[in-house]
Amino acid sequence: MEEKAIGLSNSEWHIMENLWESSPKTATQLIKAMEEETGWAKSTTKTVLKRMEQKGCIAYKEGTKAREYYPLLKREEVVESETSSFLNRIYNGSLGLLVNTLVKKQDIPDEEMEELYNIIKEAREQKK
C-alpha cells in the first residue's frame, strides 16, 4: 500500500521549519517570526496554525500564559514523503530521470558529484 503524501503548503513549511528549529512556541512568537520572515499579518499566521492543527501537523498545550505549539511530524518524515511525492508526480518515479535533468541543467561541483557517486556506490553495496 502506498503511503499518503503529507503535502505541506509553502506557508505550512514556514511554520514547521520554525517549530522544528525550536519548540514549543507560543502563537505570539510564531506570529512575530512569520511577520519578520514572510510579512504575514497576525490573522494569516493564525489561519495557517488552525489549518495545520486540523491536518494533524501540529498541536498545542495550554501553557501558563498562552498556547504552546509543537510539531507532530518529524522533519525527516516530511522530507521523505514530499520527495517521494515529487518524484512520482514529476518524474513518474524515475530517480534516473530526475538526476539526468539536474545534471544537464546545472553545473554540479566536483565535490557534489563525488558525494552522489558515493551514495550510489553505498546503495549498490547494501543490495548485495
pLDDT in tens, 78-109: 999 999 989 999 999 998 898 888 888 778 88
pLDDT in tens, 56-74: 999 999 988 899 999 999 9
Alpha carbon distance 88, 105 (integer Å): 20
Alpha carbon distance 41, 37 (integer Å): 11
The predicted model scores a pTM of: 0.77
Q: Which three cell numbers stand for residue 43?
A: 490573522
Query: Are the beta carbons of 6 and 77 closer than 8 angstroms?
Result: yes
The DSSP symbol for 61 reads: E
Query: Are the beta carbons of 57 and 13 closer than 8 angstroms?
Result: no
Residues 6+ apart with CB under 8 A from 104: none
Using DSSP's 3-state secondary structure scheme, residue 106 falls into coil
